[in-house]
Structure 1
Amino acid sequence: MPPATLAQVRAALRDVVPRLADLLRNVPAADPIAIGAWTATDVAAHLTHVLQLDTDALAGKQLPEVTVTAPGMADLNAQLLAEDTERTPSLLADRLASLATEFDEMAARSQEATVDWLQGVRLPPSVVAGHVLEECLIHGDDIARATGLSWPIRRDHALLAVEGGALPLITALPPAAFLNEEKAGSFRARFDLRLRGGGRTLMVFDRGSLTLETGPANNIDAHLSADPWAMMQVFIGRQEIWKPVLAGKMSAWGRRPWKLAGMLKAISPP
C-alpha cells in the first residue's frame, strides 16, 4: 500500500471526529474509569491535548520538551491533565470539535514537506494527522468500552492510522522509543507483518531496538496476518492476542511463532 496522503487522513478525521464528539456528549455523569486511572472525561481531555499539540506542530509553534517513550509521555500527559480541570463532557466535545476544525484548516494550508514534532522529530503533515486519527480511534474505543456506548471502527480508518501514523512514527523516532527497555534488552526476532487490506512490513527487534524494513523478508521468525484494528488493540495492550486469533482476525505461522509472545512483552508504545 502506498504511503497515506494528507487528504486521505483528513477525510477520515472529518468522519471520525464528529462521531467522537457525539460519543463524548453521551458520557454519563458517573464518569466511569476508562483506562488505567483515567476516567472517560480524563481520556476526553487528553484527546483535546493531543489535537492541540499536533495543531501546534503544523503551525510551527514550540512544543513541550519530552522524550517520546511510555514513561516520558506519561509524565507529560499527567502534567497536562493536572493543568486542565475541565471535565464536563459536552464542553470537552465542543472543544474537540473546534480543535479538529482548526487542525483541518491548518493541514489544508500546510505547504511544508515535514514539520517539527515532539523530541525534535521531523514528520510529514500526513503522519501528524495519522497520529491524531490513531489517538481518536483508540481513545474513542476506551470511552465506549467504559460507558457501554457504540464505537464502530472502519477497517480503512484503522489501516490509515497504522500505516499512516503508527508505523511512520516507529521509523522516525529512536529505535528504543516503542520498547520496554528492560524486557526488550535481550530480545531478538524478525516478524513479517501483513496488514489485511494493506501492505507488508518487516519488524526487526534487536536487543533493545525496533526498526522497520520494507525489503525482502529473509530469516523470518514468524509471519503475522492481522486485521489493522485488531493489530492496534493488541500492540497497545488493549486486548490479549488470543482473542483476535480465535476470532480469525489474526493468524501466525513460521519457524518460531512463539516469539510473538516475546514481542508483546518487549513493546511499550508511548
Structure 2
Amino acid sequence: MGTVPGFDPVTEHEKTRAALRPVVPRLVRLLNDVHDPDASSGVPVWTVGDVGVHLAAVYLAYCSIVSAEEPVEWDSVLPPGDAPFTERIAAMNAKSIELFGGDEHVRPGDFVAERGEMFLRTTEGLAPDAPVSAPWYGRGTSITLATVTGLMLSESLVHGLDIARGTGLPWSIGPDEARLVLGQSMPTMMALALDTAKARGVGIAFDLRIKGGLRLAVVVDDGTLTVTRDAPPRAYDCTITAAPATFLLVSFRRTPIWKAIARGHMRAGGRRPWLAMRLGELVARPCPGRRPPTRGYMSHQRDLPGGSVCQGAVH
C-alpha cells in the first residue's frame, strides 16, 4: 500500500513561528481597542477583561519556561501533590493571575507585546524538538518547543476570538494558522489530556483528517492515547474530516459540533461513525469557573481555570 509521506518538523516549526509573529501585534491592537473590559466575552463566565488578564498570564507562563529573563518560582504557584490534569491547570491559572499583584498600571496589550517579542527572540534558532519543562502539566513533565509555539499561537487565536465576540471588534482565524496549531500542539496535548478513567477498557482508532493536508491517527487503547502524524495505513473505526478552523473551535468548545456538521464543515465516516462523539468525551477539559465580583482590568485575582486542551495549555 506504500507509505504516507512525512512532514518536515523544522519547516513546520518555522511556519508556526512565522504565523505567530504577526498574530501578536494583531492581538495587542485588539486588547488595546477594548473600551469596556466588563463586557461579556465569548467565554460565558468571563468578561473581556478576564480574557485579557488570562492572555497576559499565558504569555508570562510560556516566556518563563523558555527564558531566564522571566523567572517564576513554580513551587509557590503549582498545586501540592499530584492533582489530576484539569485541577493542575485550574490552580496554575489562578496563581498565575495573582502574579500581577493587582497592578492597575499593567495593561494586557503592553504585556503581551513585550512577552511575545521575548518569546520569539529567545527561541530563535532552537530545534523544534528541544525539551521544555511544563510543570503545570505534572511535575517533571516536558513538552517540545514546537508544541509550546503551537500553544502560544492557539491561545492567541482562540482568546482573540473570545474578545472579538464580546466587543464586536474584528478577528479572524485563517485555515493555515489553525492547521499549524493542530499539527504542532494536538499530538502532545490530546495525550496529556486523556481522561484515563473514561478511557479504561476503551479501544478506538480515529482517522482525523484536517482539510489542507494534515492527518492524525488518534488511537485510544485501554487508558492510553497516542496521536501520530501521517501514520502508515491501518484499519480505523471512525474517520473525522473537518476544516481546520472549525475543528480548532469545536475542540475549544467555541463552536457546537452540531453547527459544524450542519454547515458541512465537519463530518464523520468509516465503519463506526457514531464514535466521533466519544473523542470529545475522552479528552479532559477544565471548565471556566465562576467569576467573583471584583472589577478592574488587571486587578482580577480569581480562579481562572484552564479551558479546553486541544489547550489547551494554560488555557
| Partner residue in 2 for 1:41 | 49
Relative distance call for 1:77 and 1:42 in structure 2 (3 A) is same
Does the Cα contact within 8 Å between 2:27 and 2:156 map onto a contact in 1?
yes
Once the two structures are superposed, residues 59-103 of structure 1 have per-residue CA deviations (whole angstroms, 9 ceiling, x without a partner) of 265673656822210111012223433567x82111111111111
Task: Give the letter for the 1:144 counterpart.
Answer: A
Q: 231-240 or 31-40, which moves further after superposition? A: 31-40
Once the two structures are superposed, residues 194-245 of structure 1 have per-residue CA deviations (whole angstroms, 9 ceiling, x without a partner) of 1111321110123432211343343311111111111111122222212112
Relative distance call for 1:69 and 1:56 in structure 2 (3 A) is same
Residue of 2, 10, 14 corresponding to 2:17 = 10
**TM-score, L = length of structure 1:** 0.86
Percent of residue pairs bearing the same amino acid type: 30
Task: Give the letter for the 2:61 counterpart.
Answer: L
**Root-mean-square deviation (Å):** 2.5
Question: Residue 212 of structure 2 aligns to a residue in which SS?
Answer: coil
Greater relative contact order structure (CA < 8 Å, 6+ sep)? 2
| Partner residue in 2 for 1:135 | 155
Matches within 5 A, 1:26-175: 26-34=33-41, 35-59=43-67, 64=74, 66=78, 69-84=85-100, 85-86=102-103, 91-108=107-124, 110=126, 114-119=130-135, 120-170=140-190, 175=191
Q: Which structure: greater helix fraction?
A: 1
Task: Give the letter for the 2:180 counterpart.
Answer: L
Question: Residue 128 of structure 1 aligns to a residue in which SS?
Answer: helix
Asked if residue 194 in structure 1 is aligned to residue 215 in structure 2, the reply is no
State how far apart, in whole Å, the 2-side matches of 1:151 and 1:192 are.
30
State how far apart, in whole Å, the 2-side matches of 1:254 and 1:69 are.
31
Residue of 273, 276, 297 corresponding to 1:260 = 276
Residue of 211, 225, 228 corresponding to 1:213 = 228
Does the Cα contact within 8 Å between 1:57 and 1:63 map onto a contact in 2?
no
Task: Give the letter for the 2:150 counterpart.
Answer: G
Question: Residue 38 of structure 1 aligns to a residue in which SS?
Answer: coil
Task: Give the letter for the 1:41 counterpart.
Answer: G
User: Number of paired residues?
Assistant: 264
Question: Residue 258 of structure 1 aligns to a residue in which SS?
Answer: helix
| Partner residue in 1 for 2:246 | 230
Relative distance call for 1:116 and 1:14 in structure 2 (3 A) is closer
Task: Give the letter for the 1:22 counterpart.
Answer: R
Runs of 4+ displaced beyond 6 Å:
none
Relative distance call for 1:112 and 1:230 in structure 2 (3 A) is closer
Show structure 1 runs of 5+ residues with no match. Answer: none
Does the Cα contact within 8 Å between 1:42 and 1:87 map onto a contact in 2?
no
State how far apart, in whole Å, the 1-side matches of 2:207 and 2:127 are.
35
Show structure 2 runs of 5+ residues with no match. Answer: 1-6, 285-308
**TM-score, L = length of structure 2:** 0.75
Does the Cα contact within 8 Å between 1:53 and 1:63 map onto a contact in 2?
no
State how far apart, in whole Å, the 1-side matches of 2:166 and 2:199 are.
31
State how far apart, in whole Å, the 2-side matches of 1:136 and 1:77 are.
16
